[in-house]
C-alpha cells in the first residue's frame, strides 16, 4: 500500500498536467498537419505543408528574426542591469528595504496593465514621457507607431517588467557570497571592479544561468500582452514576434492549422532551450 | 448533526427551486461585443423583453471585442456550448455563412407572417444579403463620417460651414489647420483617423471602386483582390501626403479611443470615425467648449460618385438548438429589431436605426432638427449610390485582408515603401489570403 501512496498523491497534479499541457500539445501536433476550417467545418490532411508555408513566408521569417533580436536585447539588458541594481540593493544604506519594495512593484503588475501604463506614458501628445522629451530636448517622438522607437518602447517595458524578478534572485545570491572571500580579496589588493566581476559575478553564475533561461521563456511567451497592448505588432509588423504572429493566425484569422504549426515550432525551441539548460548548465556553471 | 440536516434541507429546497424555475422558462443566451455603457443598455433591452415574455429568460453576456466574440463562438460551436444569439461583425459575414453555424434569418422570416423585412432599410439589407439571402438580422449599423471642430476652423480663418469635400480640399484644410510651435513640433494637427483598413474600404466605396473581383464577391466567390487601382493609389497617396507634411496624426492599429481623444482634446481639428460616436462627440464637444461640425467623408475631386459601406454588426441565430429555444431566440431577435428598440439603441449610441419606420418616427418627433449630426450620418447613408461597390465586399478571409492592408499602410507611412509599392504589395498579399481561404 505504502508503495502506491506517492503515486496516488500525484494523481491530481497529473490530471491537470495531462489535461492542460500534454493533451493540448498533442492536439497542436496533430492539427499542425491539417488545414483546419473555422467552426469545426472540417479538417484536411495536408502533411507538412503548414510548416513549408511558414518557412517560405517572409512575414514569419521576419517574426523569427525579430524574436531573436528582441529576446537577446531584453534578456541581456535585464540580466546586466538587475545584477548592478542588486549590488546596490545589498548595501546597508538607510531605507534599502523601501527601495527594494519600490523596484519590485512592476513584477506584481500584470503584463497587460504594464502595457497599458506605458501606452499612456508614451502617448505622443498627452504622455508624460513625451512631454519630458518635448520640454527638455524639444523633440516629439511617436514612440509606439514609428521605427525604431516602437522597438525601444517594447524593450523598455519588457525590461521594466522582468527586472524585479531577476533582482530579487540576485539580492539573495549576492548576500550569500561569503564575506571571507571578499575580505581576503581586498587584503590581496583586488579593486572593487575585480571583486565584482572576478568574484561576485562568477559566484552567482548558476543563478545567472537560471535567470537567462527563465527570461528567455518570459520574453518569448509572456511578451504577448505587452505587444498586444502597446503596438499590436506594428508599425507594419515591425514588432510582431513569434508569439504575436501565432495569436494573429490562430485567433484573429481563424487559421488553426498554421497556428498549431507555429506552436509546434515554439515547443521545439523550448525543448532545445531546456536541454541546453540541463546539459551545458551542469558542465560549465560554477556551483558553490 | 443538526447543522448537517439543516444544510442538506436548504440545499434540497434551493436545488428544487432553481430546477422548477428553469423548467418553466426557456433560456436564451445572447453574446455581444458592445463594451462600456452599451452593456447596460443591452441588458436593459433584454429586461424589457423578459417583462413582455415572462416565459423566456435572456442571459446577456459581453464577450469582448468583435474578434474575441467570433473566437469564442468558434470554440463554443465545436464544444456544443454556443449561445442562441450572437452578435457577429460585418466582415465575419462570409466566414459565418461558410461555417454553417446559423439558422439563415431568411428562413425564419419567411416562416413568420408577422414579420415584414420590407420595413428595413435597403442599404442595410444589401450589405447583409449574400446571394440574395439574408443570413442574419441587421442590428447595429454604422459607417464612417467626418467630425470637425468649427471653433478651430474659425481660428484658422476657414469657413466653419464649408467643410472639405474632396481629397484636394482636405489636404489644403489640414495644412491650414496645422499649428507648429517654435521648435517646429506639431502642436495641433489637421486630421486623424485611427489606423484601420475600414477607412480605406470606405474611401474606395465613395469612389465607386471595388476591393475584389466578382463584384466585390457578390456575384461569385472572390478569387483575387483588385484594389491596386487608380482609386486605391489616390487614397494611399492622400493618406501618405497628409502624414508626410505633419498635418495628420496616425494612431496605432485600431486605436479608436486614441484618435477620438486627440479630437476631443482639440489636438486635431478633424476626425474621420464611426457614426456610432455621434452621441459621444456631441457630449464631448459641449464639455470641451467647441462647436462641432459633421460632414460626409471626402473623395477625390474627379472621382465617380459612390457611397459609404455599412459597418457594425448583426445578430446571428445559432443552429442546432431545440425547437422551443430557437423559437424563443427568434422572438428575442424580432424584439431587438422592432422600431422602438432600434430608436432606443440609436439614440443611446449613434448606430443607425436599421428600419425605415424608425427613421420616419424620429423625423416626426423633430429628432433630426435637434440632432443635426445624426442627420448628416443618416443622409450620407441614404444618399449613397447603391451598387456592389457601396454594398461592401464579401470576403471569407476579410480579417486577414484587413491586417495586410494595415500593415502595408504602416510601411508606407514609415517611409519604407512608396504608396504605389505599398498598394501593390497589399493587393498581392490580399490575393494570397483570399485564395488560401477559398482553397484555390
Question: Which A residues, 23 through 82, put their C-beta within 8 Å of a C-beta on chain B?
Answer: 35, 37-41
Contact: B185, A134; criterion CB under 8 Å: yes
Domain end: B330, B355, B370, which one?
A: B370
Of the pLDDT bands very low, low, confident and very high (cuts 50, 70, 90), residue B23 is: low
State whether B295 and B328 are in the same domain. Answer: no
Instruction: Kindly report the nearest CA distance between residue B178 and chain A, in angstroms.
Output: 14
Residue B400 lies in a domain: yes
**From edge to edge, which strands make up the β-sheet containing B26-32?**
B56-62, B26-32, B85-89, B311-317, B137-142
Higher pLDDT residue, A81 or A124?
Answer: A81
Contact: B254, A232; criterion CB under 8 Å: yes
Lowest mean pLDDT among A2-6, A166-170, B74-78: A2-6
Domain end: B326, B355, B370, which one?
A: B370
Q: What is the 3-state secondary structure (H, E, C) of A74-119?
A: HHHHHHHHHHHHHHHHCCCCCCHHHHHHHHHHHHHCCHHHHHHHHH
Judge whether B304 and B385 are in contact, CB under 8 Å: no
- The CATH number of whichever domain residue B200 belongs to comes to 3.40.190.10
Instruction: Kindly report the nearest CA distance between residue A222 and chain B, in angstroms.
Output: 19
Of the pLDDT bands very low, low, confident and very high (cuts 50, 70, 90), residue A127 is: confident
- Is the CB of residue A253 less than 8 Å away from at least one CB of chain B? yes
State whether B128 and B53 are in the same domain. Answer: yes
Mean pLDDT, chain A, rounded, equals 87
Higher pLDDT residue, B277 or A140?
Answer: B277
Residue B50 lies in a domain: yes
Chain B residues with beta carbon closer than 8 angstroms to that of A147? 414, 416
Choose among A125, A142, A234: nearest Cβ to B267: A125
- The residue in chain A having the minimum alpha-carbon distance to the alpha carbon of residue B75 is A39
Q: What is the CA radius of gyration of chain B?
A: 24
Chain B residues with beta carbon closer than 8 angstroms to that of A38? 74, 95, 98-99
Q: What is the CA radius of gyration of chain A?
A: 23
Residue B390 lies in a domain: no
State whether B171 and B76 are in the same domain. Answer: no
Distance (Å, rounded) from C-alpha A208 to C-alpha A217?
Answer: 14
Question: Which B residues, 285 through 324, put their C-beta within 8 Å of a C-beta on chain A?
Answer: none
Choose among B74, B186, B416: nearest Cβ to A140: B186
The residue among A268, A222, A262, A234 whose CA lies nearest residue A113 is: A222
pLDDT in the model for residue B204: 96
Q: What is the DSSP letter of B179?
A: E
**SS3 label, residue A148:** coil
CA A124, distance to chain mean position in Å, is 27
State whether B47 and B109 are in the same domain. Answer: yes
- The residue in chain B having the minimum alpha-carbon distance to the alpha carbon of residue A146 is B414
Choose among B186, B195, B399: nearest Cβ to A252: B399
Give per-residue pLDDT as tens, A170-219.
998 888 888 888 888 888 888 888 888 888 888 888 889 889 988 998 88
How crowded is residue B179: how many other Cβ atoms within 10 Å of its Cβ?
Answer: 15
**SS3 label, residue A56:** coil
Of the pLDDT bands very low, low, confident and very high (cuts 50, 70, 90), residue B294 is: very high
CA B202, distance to chain mean position in Å, is 12
State whether B293 and B348 are in the same domain. Answer: no
**Average pLDDT of the segment spanning B233-255:** 92
Structurally, chain B folds into a number of domains equal to: 2
Give per-residue pLDDT as tens, A143-152.
888 888 899 9
Choose among B397, B410, B439: nearest Cβ to A234: B410
Bridge-partner residues for B133, per DSSP? B130
Domains of chain A: 57-284 (1.10.3720.10)
Question: Which A residues, 118 through 137, put their C-beta within 8 Å of a C-beta on chain B?
Answer: 123-126, 134
pLDDT in the model for residue B324: 92
State whether B187 and B256 are in the same domain. Answer: yes
pLDDT in the model for residue B20: 47
State whether B97 and B77 are in the same domain. Answer: yes
**Average pLDDT of the segment spanning B357-381:** 92
**Average pLDDT of the segment spanning B262-289:** 93
State whether B303 and B198 are in the same domain. Answer: yes
Is residue B246's pLDDT more than 70? yes
Is residue A108's pLDDT more than 90? no
Instruction: Give percent above pLDDT 90 in chain B.
Output: 75
**Average pLDDT of the segment spanning B292-311:** 93
Is residue B394's pLDDT more than 90? yes
Of the pLDDT bands very low, low, confident and very high (cuts 50, 70, 90), residue A284 is: low
Is residue B19's pLDDT more than 70? no
Contact: A234, B400; criterion CB under 8 Å: no
State whether B7 and B92 are in the same domain. Answer: yes
Q: What angle do CA B116, B121, B122 make, to 5 degrees?
A: 100
Is residue A24's pLDDT more than 50? yes
pLDDT in the model for residue A1: 63
Residue B380 lies in a domain: no
Give per-residue pLDDT as tens, A232-255.
887 888 899 999 999 999 888 888
pLDDT in the model for residue B6: 61
Distance (Å, rounded) from C-alpha A219 to C-alpha A221?
Answer: 6
The residue among A259, A262, A257, A261 whose CA lies nearest residue A36 is: A257
Distance (Å, rounded) from C-alpha B26 to C-alpha B15?
Answer: 18
Is the peptide bond preceding residue A235 cis, with omega within 30 degrees of 0?
A: yes
- Is the reported ipTM for this assembly greater than 0.90? no
State whether B341 and B252 are in the same domain. Answer: no
How crowded is residue A186: how many other Cβ atoms within 10 Å of its Cβ?
Answer: 13
Contact: A254, B70; criterion CB under 8 Å: yes
**Average pLDDT of the segment spanning B184-189:** 83
**How many Cβ pairs closer than 8 A exist between chain A and B?**
94
How crowded is residue B132: how many other Cβ atoms within 10 Å of its Cβ?
Answer: 7
Question: Which of B410, B415, B435 best probes binding to A when mutated, by most A CB atoms within 10 angstroms?
Answer: B410
Is residue A60's pLDDT more than 70? yes
Instruction: Give percent above pLDDT 70 in chain B.
Output: 95
pLDDT in the model for residue B172: 95
The residue among A238, A19, A77 whose CA lies nearest residue B195 is: A238
**Average pLDDT of the segment spanning B261-265:** 92
Contact: B74, A39; criterion CB under 8 Å: yes
How crowded is residue B130: how many other Cβ atoms within 10 Å of its Cβ?
Answer: 16
**SS3 label, residue A25:** helix
- Is the CB of residue B261 less than 8 Å away from at least one CB of chain A? yes
In angstroms, the Cα distances linking B420 to A59, B407, B426 are: 20, 14, 10
The residue among A74, A96, A114 whose CA lies nearest residue A241 is: A74
Residue B388 lies in a domain: no
**Average pLDDT of the segment spanning A91-115:** 84
Question: Which of B89, B254, B408, B414 best probes binding to A when mutated, by most A CB atoms within 10 angstroms?
Answer: B414
Residue B416 lies in a domain: yes
Choose among B183, B400, B414: nearest Cβ to A147: B414
Distance (Å, rounded) from C-alpha B166 to C-alpha B180?
Answer: 24
Contact: B71, A138; criterion CB under 8 Å: no
Mean pLDDT, chain B, rounded, equals 90
Question: Which B residues, 62 through 101, put their C-beta within 8 Å of a C-beta on chain A?
Answer: 67, 70-71, 73-74, 77-78, 95-96, 98-101
Bridge-partner residues for B58, per DSSP? B28
Judge whether B409 and B370 are in contact, CB under 8 Å: no
Bridge-partner residues for B247, per DSSP? none
**Average pLDDT of the segment spanning B192-202:** 96
Lowest mean pLDDT among A34-38, A82-86, A161-165, A267-271: A34-38
Distance (Å, rounded) from C-alpha B355 to C-alpha B62?
Answer: 25
State whether B171 and B292 are in the same domain. Answer: yes
Give per-residue pLDDT as tens, B375-386.
999 999 999 989
Residue B385 lies in a domain: no
Higher pLDDT residue, A129 or B395?
Answer: B395
**SS3 label, residue B57:** strand
Which range marks the domain in which residue B269 is found? Answer: 144-307+395-438
Of the pLDDT bands very low, low, confident and very high (cuts 50, 70, 90), residue A142 is: confident
Higher pLDDT residue, B332 or B5?
Answer: B332
Residue B377 lies in a domain: no
- Is the CB of residue A254 less than 8 Å away from at least one CB of chain B? yes
Bridge-partner residues for B57, per DSSP? B27
State whether B295 and B323 are in the same domain. Answer: no
Amino acid at each position: 500500500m505504502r508503495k502506491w501512496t506517492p503515486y496516488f498523491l500525484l494523481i491530481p497534479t497529473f490530471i491537470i498536467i495531462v489535461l492542460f499541457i500534454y493533451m493540448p500539445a498533442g492536439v497542436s501536433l496533430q492539427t499542425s498537419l491539417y488545414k483546419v476550417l473555422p467552426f469545426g467545418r472540417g479538417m484536411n490532411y495536408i502533411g507538412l505543408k503548414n510548416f513549408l508555408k511558414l518557412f517560405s513566408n517572409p512575414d514569419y521569417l521576419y517574426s523569427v528574426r525579430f524574436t531573436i533580436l528582441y529576446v537577446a536585447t531584453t534578456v541581456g539588458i535585464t540580466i546586466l542591469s538587475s545584477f548592478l541594481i542588486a549590488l546596490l540593493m545589498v548595501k546597508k544604506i538607510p531605507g534599502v528595504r523601501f527601495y527594494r519594495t519600490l523596484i519590485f512593484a512592476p513584477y506584481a503588475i500584470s503584463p497587460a496593465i504594464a502595457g497599458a501604463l506605458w501606452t499612456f506614458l508614451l502617448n505622443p501628445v498627452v504622455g508624460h514621457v513625451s512631454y519630458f522629451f518635448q520640454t527638455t530636448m524639444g523633440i516629439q517622438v511617436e514612440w509606439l507607431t514609428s521605427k525604431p522607437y516602437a522597438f525601444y518602447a517594447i524593450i523598455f517595458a519588457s525590461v521594466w517588467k522582468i527586472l524585479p524578478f531577476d533582482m530579487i534572485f540576485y539580492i539573495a545570491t549576492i548576500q550569500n557570497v561569503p564575506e571571507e572571500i571578499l575580505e581576503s580579496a581586498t587584503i590581496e589588493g583586488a579593486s572593487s571592479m575585480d571583486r565584482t566581476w572576478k568574484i561576485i559575478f562568477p559566484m552567482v553564475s548558476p543563478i545567472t544561468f537560471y535567470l537567462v533561461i527563465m527570461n528567455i521563456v518570459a520574453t518569448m511567451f509572456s511578451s504577448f500582452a505587452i505587444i498586444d497592448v502597446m503596438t499590436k505588432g506594428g508599425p507594419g509588423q515591425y514588432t510582431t514576434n513569434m508569439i504575436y504572429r501565432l495569436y494573429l493566425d490562430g485567433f484573429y484569422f481563424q487559421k488553426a492549422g498554421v497556428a498549431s504549426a507555429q506552436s509546434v515550432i515554439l515547443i521545439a525551441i523550448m525543448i532545445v532551450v531546456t536541454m541546453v539548460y540541463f546539459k551545458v548548465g551542469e558542465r560549465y556553471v560554477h556551483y558553490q | 448533526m443538526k447543522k448537517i440536516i439543516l444544510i442538506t434541507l436548504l440545499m434540497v429546497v434551493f436545488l428544487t427551486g432553481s430546477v422548477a424555475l428553469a423548467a418553466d422558462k426557456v433560456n436564451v443566451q445572447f453574446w455581444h461585443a458592445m463594451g462600456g455603457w452599451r452593456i447596460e443598455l443591452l441588458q436593459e433591452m433584454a429586461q424589457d423583453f423578459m417583462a413582455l415574455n415572462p416565459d423566456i429568460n435572456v442571459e446577456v453576456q459581453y464577450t469582448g471585442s468583435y474578434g474575441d466574440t467570433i473566437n469564442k463562438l468558434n470554440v463554443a460551436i465545436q464544444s456544443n456550448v454556443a449561445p442562441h444569439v450572437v452578435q457577429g461583425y460585418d466582415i465575419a459575414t462570409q466566414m459565418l455563412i461558410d461555417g454553417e453555424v446559423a439558422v439563415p434569418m431568411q428562413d425564419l422570416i419567411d416562416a413568420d407572417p408577422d414579420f415584414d423585412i420590407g420595413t428595413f432599410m435597403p442599404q442595410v439589407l444589401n450589405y447583409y444579403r449574400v446571394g440574395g439571402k439574408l443570413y442574419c438580422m441587421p442590428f447595429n449599423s454604422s459607417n464612417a463620417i467626418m467630425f470637425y471642430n468649427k471653433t478651430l476652423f474659425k481660428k484658422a480663418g476657414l469657413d466653419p460651414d464649408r467643410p472639405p469635400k474632396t481629397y484636394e480640399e482636405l489636404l489644403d484644410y489640414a495644412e491650414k489647420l496645422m499649428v507648429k510651435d517654435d521648435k517646429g513640433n506639431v502642436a495641433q494637427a489637421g486630421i486623424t483617423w485611427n489606423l484601420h483598413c475600414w477607412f480605406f474600404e470606405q474611401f474606395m466605396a465613395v469612389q465607386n471602386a471595388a476591393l475584389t473581383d466578382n463584384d466585390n464577391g457578390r456575384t461569385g466567390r472572390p478569387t483575387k483582390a483588385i484594389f491596386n487601382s487608380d482609386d486605391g493609389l489616390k487614397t494611399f497617396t492622400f493618406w501618405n501626403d497628409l502624414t508626410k507634411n505633419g498635418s495628420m496624426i496616425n494612431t496605432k492599429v485600431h486605436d479608436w479611443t486614441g484618435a477620438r481623444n486627440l479630437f476631443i482634446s482639440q489636438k486635431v481639428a478633424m476626425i474621420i470615425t464611426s457614426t456610432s460616436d455621434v452621441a459621444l462627440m456631441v457630449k464631448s464637444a459641449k464639455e470641451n467648449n467647441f462647436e462641432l461640425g459633421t460632414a460626409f467623408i471626402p473623395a477625390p475631386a474627379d472621382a465617380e460618385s459612390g457611397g459609404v459601406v455599412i459597418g457594425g454588426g448583426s445578430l446571428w441565430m445559432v443552429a442546432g438548438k431545440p425547437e422551443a429555444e430557437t423559437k424563443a431566440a427568434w422572438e428575442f431577435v424580432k424584439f431587438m429589431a422592432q422600431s422602438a428598440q432600434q430608436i432606443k439603441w440609436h439614440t443611446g449610441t449613434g448606430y443607425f436605426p436599421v428600419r425605415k419606420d424608425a427613421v420616419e418616427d424620429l423625423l416626426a418627433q423633430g429628432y433630426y432638427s435637434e440632432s443635426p449630426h445624426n442627420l448628416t450620418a443618416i443622409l450620407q447613408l441614404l444618399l449613397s449610390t447603391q451598387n456592389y461597390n457601396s454594398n461592401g465586399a464579401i470576403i471569407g478571409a476579410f480579417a486577414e485582408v484587413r491586417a495586410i492592408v494595415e500593415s502595408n499602410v504602416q510601411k508606407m507611412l514609415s517611409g519604407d515603401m512608396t504608396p504605389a509599392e505599398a498598394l501593390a504589395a497589399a493587393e498581392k498579399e490580399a490575393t494570397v489570403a483570399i485564395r488560401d481561404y477559398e482553397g484555390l
